[in-house]
Amino acid sequence: MDKLEEARELIADPKHWCTFVRASDSSGWRVEPRSKLATKYCALGALDAVRALASDYAELRHQARMMFGMDVAAVNDAPSLGHDAVLMVFDRVIRKRRRHERTLGRLEAAFTKASASSSGAVFREPEKAPDTVPEEWTEKVDA
């Protein structure tokens, strides 16, 4: 499971999701997302909690802008959008990644098959031109 999937799992249940702070404890107090006391997370707090990569944040932010015209933090905190919208953003990015991984797998398989069928070389060198040219290809010139 990748970091985006782990983060999504943390907030899948609305009881473990929050707004306006990255994370909170069971009493509703703000805590750091990586704190053992954290029980609720916003979208970005969930990424912090699982130690996601910068590229994970970037993909999530980009997808939120594409879907809703605003950053994922704004989607998370918008009363008109909220939890379902946040999960939709996560799901879209996760689906895109899986599709990309399948495509890469197919390309790798095709490359491996091509390599095996051509004795290890995908691209063959053209055959060497003959040193002599057939007589019918030459033009006879009277001297």
What are the extents of the domains in the chain? 3-116
Q: Say yes or no to pLDDT of 120 above 80.
A: no
Q: Does the pLDDT at position 92 exceed 60? A: yes
* pLDDT at residue 51 tops 70: yes
pLDDT of 114 over the 80 cut = no
Nearest CA to 21 out of 32, 9, 11 is that of: 32
The structure tokens listed for 66 are: 């594409």
Please calculate the CA angle 6-12-16 and round it to the nearest 5 degrees: 100
Give the whole-angstrom CA distance, residue 120 versus residue 132: 31
Task: Determine the pLDDT at residue 113.
Answer: 64
**What mean pLDDT, rounded, does the chain reach?**
85
* Model pLDDT for residues 6-15, shown as the tens digit of each residue: 999 999 999 9
- pLDDT tens for residues 53-85? 899 999 999 999 999 999 999 999 999 998 999
pLDDT for the residue 137: 67
In this structure, what DSSP letter does residue 138 have? S
Question: What is the predicted pLDDT for the residue at 72?
Answer: 94
In the block, residue with structure tokens 């590229």: 55
CB atoms within 10 A of CB 5: 15
Kindly tell me if the per-residue pLDDT of 21 is higher than 60.
Answer: yes
Cα radius of gyration rounded to whole Å, the chain: 28
Tokens linked to 133: 């040219």
